[in-house]
Structure 1
Amino acid sequence: MTPIEYIKENNLEWQPSFSGEITSSLYGYRGALIIEEGKRLSETRVMPPKYQAKQVIMVSENEKIKFFACELETFAYFKDFFAKYGDYFDKDSINLLYVIDLDANGTFEYEGVKFCAFMLDESSVWNEVLDFASLEKGDLKKLSSEEKIEKVYDEILSTPADEIDKTYDEMLALMGNTKKALMGAV
């Protein structure tokens, strides 16, 4: 089963903005993924998810996730996230977590899979990933949704991550009380 088949079969996608093939062998997804679903009010009505991986950018090939980036409101959600989606990651996956309540960046390994976790306060995952890949928004301006995801993925493949090795427990210790700054009209 592919990651997207698992996601769709278990109704785990939330407000996707793109879900489709980006090449003949790669599948792209942008949206949110449910970590813990909301309360079921009836057979057809469900409250919004209690926890979710937000602003997900995912590229998968066959049964494995090749690239994954998302926002986590708190690093405390990571363990539940990995319990739900971990089978689709492997040691070769490129994984970027942007976490609101981290007080420092770090790279850690969890069940044989490496994750780079970064502090996120007021930006978006998309903008952070573009910065990480040294891309400008203008580089993507006239591209389709699938071409944008493919371009970002291609750049990520050749982008070395600045690694600050930590253990999972050391990452847990970096959790603070930071809340995301809301931007917009004042």
Structure 2
Amino acid sequence: MLLDRYEPYFFNSNFKEAASKAGWVAYRGELVLVEGEVADAQGRRKPPHELLRQAAVLAEGDELRFISGHMDELAHFSAFLEKYGPDLKPGAIAVIFVVNIDKPFTALVGDVPVVFVPLVQGMAWNELIDLVALEKSDFKGQSSADKVVTLYNALKGHTFKYPQSTVEEALKTTNNAKRETHGAV
């Protein structure tokens, strides 16, 4: 199973569970992009240097169907491709939220269109739901994994009308934006 292979890269996991559709498994949490150094003789690692935060992943057996999350810099996409790129095959949906881009765009990675959307504040999951106009009631009574399947099904029928670019071209236009967080003072 694909998500079993990803498990060493799970960080701050919310859940990994089977959906009601046989063979489908979903994960939400964070995914390691750049691992921390080995800290001791037992092989334990320091915290990761870079993460795909607020990640949502859906797999059908060994096939990646959907992956999404939030990264601070577009430059970290190369680390994403190293670990997860080989599983981006035709039919997969990838939506990546990035802090330091100004405008959304779509880039082909192999034969898979990857959607990049600017996000300085907010939650990737909520932004995805807004992009495909789902309502809270669309998820009522569903398990956590089935909610990811519902979002995936909505994304399958959604056309992103963002300009086509390459990641290399977009890297030339990144900005210095930092993630905005709000909370208790």
Please indicate, yes or no, whether the TM-score normalized by the shorter chain is above 0.5: yes
Aligned length: 183
Residues 57 and 70 of structure 1 are in contact (CA less than 8 Å); yes or no, is this contact kept in structure 2?
A: yes
Amino acid across the alignment from 2:4: E
Q: Does 1:14 align with 2:11?
A: yes
Query: What residue number does 2:35 align with?
Result: 37
Amino acid across the alignment from 1:70: G
Residues 29 and 59 of structure 1 are in contact (CA less than 8 Å); yes or no, is this contact kept in structure 2?
A: yes
Query: What residue number does 1:56 align with?
Result: 55
Residues 109 and 167 of structure 1 are in contact (CA less than 8 Å); yes or no, is this contact kept in structure 2?
A: yes
Report the alpha carbon displacement of residue 44 of structure 1 after superposing the two structures with TM.
6.2
Alpha-carbon displacement from aligned partner over 1:36-73 (angstroms, at most 9, x marks no partner): 11122222643211011111111111222111111011
SS of alignment partner, residue 123 of structure 1:
coil
- How many Å separate the matches in 2 of 1:144 and 1:112? 32
Is 62-71 or 143-152 further displaced after alignment? 143-152
Query: What residue number does 1:166 align with?
Result: 165
Amino acid across the alignment from 1:117: F
Alpha-carbon displacement from aligned partner over 1:103-161 (angstroms, at most 9, x marks no partner): 11100112332101000011111111111121123432443212211221221121221
Query: What residue number does 2:101 align with?
Result: 102
Q: Report the TM-score when normalising by structure 2.
A: 0.91
Q: Report the TM-score when normalising by structure 1.
A: 0.91
Residues 95 and 114 of structure 1 are in contact (CA less than 8 Å); yes or no, is this contact kept in structure 2?
A: yes
Query: What residue number does 1:177 align with?
Result: 176
Identity %: 25
Residues 18 and 31 of structure 1 are in contact (CA less than 8 Å); yes or no, is this contact kept in structure 2?
A: yes
Query: What residue number does 1:28 align with?
Result: 26
Report the alpha carbon displacement of residue 85 of structure 1 after superposing the two structures with TM.
1.2
Q: Does 1:122 align with 2:100?
A: no
